Amino acid sequence: MKIFWTLVFTLLISFPITAQKKTTNRVVKADTLSDTLSFAVREQMSDTLHTKLYYDVWASLDSLHNDTLPMRPITLRGEYYRLFLPFTYYYSPLQRHTYFPWRDEKLNMFKTVKRESLSVDTVSLAYPTLFERVGKTQEQIDEILLYTYKTNPKLIVQTEEQIMSKELVKVDIPQKEPSKNPIMKLFAPDKPDEKVEAAEVIIRKPNFWITGGSGSFQMSQNSVSDNWYQGGESTNSVLANIKLFANYNDKEKVQFESFLEAKAGFNSASSDTIRKYKVNTDLLRLYSKLGIQAASKWYYTISGEFNTQFFKNYKANSTEVVSSFLSPANVIVSVGMDYKLNEKKVVLSVFLSPLTYSLRYVGNKNVDETKFGLKEGDKTLQDFGSKLQTTLSWKIIPSITYDTRLYYFTSYKKVEAEWENSLNFVLNRYLSTKLFFHARFDDGAARKEDNSYFQFKEFLSFGINYSW
C-alpha cells in the first residue's frame, strides 16, 4: 500500500493539475521562496482573488525591496501563516485533490469522500488537519502550496509530521508559599546579612579652591591724549594680555580672591626719529582680598594691591625716561566692607574702605618723580584716605561680555580715580574683538599748561583669545 501511495504522489507533483483550468506554459524564474509563491498566486487563482490576495500580502512585501513602489503598511493576518513559516509540506493541499481514502495518522481518522459532490467548505470539514482552517482563503492557500510543491520541491525544509512530532515545552514556575511568620515579625528590624562584606567608605576633603585664567594676543588701533601719565601716542599696535586667578570659598564664612594681571603693548613710532617702536601699554598688577561674612552678601574685608610696569618708556624724539620698572610702583592696603553679588549673568563687587593706606615709589633716578605727585628729590609718597572700588562682569549674551573697574581714592587733599571698561565680542573659542577704554583723573600730579587733570586711553583690537 505504501508503494502505491508513493507512486500516486510522484505522479501528482510531476504533472500540472488541470482540473477546470488550462495549463499555460511559462518559465518560472524563482530564486527565492517569496518569488515562487507570488508566481503561484498568479497561476492558481482568478484575477479577482489574485488581486485581493496580492494587495493583502505580496504588495506589502514587494514595497520593502522595490524602490519604485510606494511603501505599504504590512497587515498581519493569521490565515496566511503557512505562506511565511519555514516552507513546510502540509497534508491538506494533496487531500483536496484526491478521490482516495485518506488516513490522518495524527487524528486517527479514516474517511472516504468524493470531491465532485461536496462544496469547498464541506471538503474542508471532511478532510480536517491540525494546520487547516475552514474557508475559501485556506483553499486558495492550498492551491498555492500544491503548485509550489510540484514546481519547486527542493524548497521544502520540513513536513507537517515533523512539526507534530515535537513536544510542547512546559516550564514549571515555583510558587512562593504563604508566609507563616507571626504578624509582629513583619515589623521587626532586618538582621544584617553575614555574607555581606563591610563597604569601604572613602571620604574626600572638599576642594574650595577655583583656579583659572585667560590670555590674548591682539592687534589694535590706539588713541592716547598728549598728557597721558605714562606717555604714548596714537598709532596701530599689538597687545598681549594674561590674567590668572585663584579664589577660595568655603561656602560658609570665608572668601579669598587673588588675581595676577600682566599687559604689554607695542606700537610703531613713526613720529619718533630715535626709535622705531615704543611701549604704549605696560602693566603688572597683583590684587588680593580676604573677606569674612558679616551678613548675607556683606563681608568684612581687607585688601591689598601692588601695581607697576615692566619696560622703560621714553618721550618721543628724546632720551628722557618717562617711566620704568618700579617707577612708579604703588602699594595700596584697605580695610572696609565688601558687597558681593554672584548671579548667573552678573558678578558684582562693591568695596567701601574708610581706612586706606597708599604708598607710591619711584626708584629710577632718571624718571621725573613730580609727574607722579612726589616732591622733587623724594622717592616715596605716603597717603591715608578712603577708597571705593567696584568691579562688574556682565554676560550680556553668550557672545558679548562687559567688564568694568571703577577705582576712587582720596586723601581729602587730592583725588585719584580710574575707570576701565572692556567690551569683548567673542567670535568663537579662540577669536574675539575687544573694545577697551580707560579714563583717569589725578589732580596730585603735575600737569602741562592748557591740559586738564583728565587723561584717557582707548583701543580697538582683534585677535586670539583663550580661557581655561
pLDDT digits (tens, 9 = 90+) for 102-155: 444 444 443 444 444 444 444 444 444 444 444 666 777 788 888 888 888 888
Give me the residues paired with residue 268 across strands.
277
pLDDT at position 47 over 60:
no
Higher pLDDT, 438 or 92: 438
Nearest to 238 by CA among 401, 459, 425: 459
Q: What is the mean pLDDT of the chain?
A: 76
Rg (alpha carbons) of the chain, rounded to whole number: 49
Domains of the chain: 2-164 (no CATH), 210-467 (2.40.230)
Nearest to 421 by CA among 398, 408, 439, 409: 439
Higher pLDDT, 439 or 74: 439
pLDDT of residue 107: 44
pLDDT digits (tens, 9 = 90+) for 201-232: 777 777 889 999 999 898 877 677 777 777 76
- The DSSP symbol for 58 reads I
pLDDT at position 319 over 90:
no
Higher pLDDT, 437 or 137: 437
Point out the least confidently predicted range of 64-73, 334-343, 386-395, 429-438. Answer: 64-73
pLDDT of residue 36: 62
pLDDT of residue 29: 39
Band the pLDDT of 165: cuts 50, 70, 90.
confident
pLDDT at position 390 over 60:
yes
Dist CA 156 CA 142 (whole Å):
15
- The DSSP symbol for 55 reads I
pLDDT of residue 447: 72
Q: Taking the model in full, what pTM does it have?
A: 0.54
Instruction: Kindly report the number of other CB atoms within 10 A of residue 333's CB atom.
Output: 16
The residue to which cell 524563482 is assigned = 30
Concatenating the DSSP letter of every residue in 415-435 gives EEEEEEEEEEEE-SSSEEEEE
pLDDT digits (tens, 9 = 90+) for 60-105: 555 555 566 665 565 556 666 777 778 888 888 877 776 455 444 4
Are 261 and 306 in contact, with CB atoms under 8 Å apart?
Answer: no
Q: What is the mean pLDDT of residues 278-282?
A: 87
pLDDT digits (tens, 9 = 90+) for 344-366: 899 999 999 999 999 999 999 99
Long-range contacts of 1-10 (CB under 8 A, 24+ apart): 8/98, 8/100, 9/94
Band the pLDDT of 7: cuts 50, 70, 90.
very low
Instruction: Kindly report the number of other CB atoms within 10 A of residue 164's CB atom.
Output: 12
Give me the residues paired with residue 457 across strands.
224, 438
Dist CA 263 CA 281 (whole Å):
7
Q: Quick one: how far is CA 300 from the chain centroid?
A: 42
Band the pLDDT of 37: cuts 50, 70, 90.
low
Dist CA 309 CA 128 (whole Å):
106
Name the grid cell of 452.
586738564
Q: List, in order, residues 6 or more apart from 134 with CB less than 8 Å away.
A: 121, 124, 125
Higher pLDDT, 2 or 334: 334
Sign of CA dihedral 276, 280, 281, 283: positive
Q: List, in order, residues 6 or more apart from 364 with CB less than 8 Å away.
A: 321, 324, 325, 326, 327
pLDDT digits (tens, 9 = 90+) for 298-314: 999 999 999 999 999 98
Q: List, in order, residues 6 or more apart from 371 with CB less than 8 Å away.
A: 229, 322, 445, 446
Band the pLDDT of 26: cuts 50, 70, 90.
very low
pLDDT at position 44 over 60:
no
Point out the least confidently predicted range of 2-11, 12-21, 369-378. Answer: 12-21
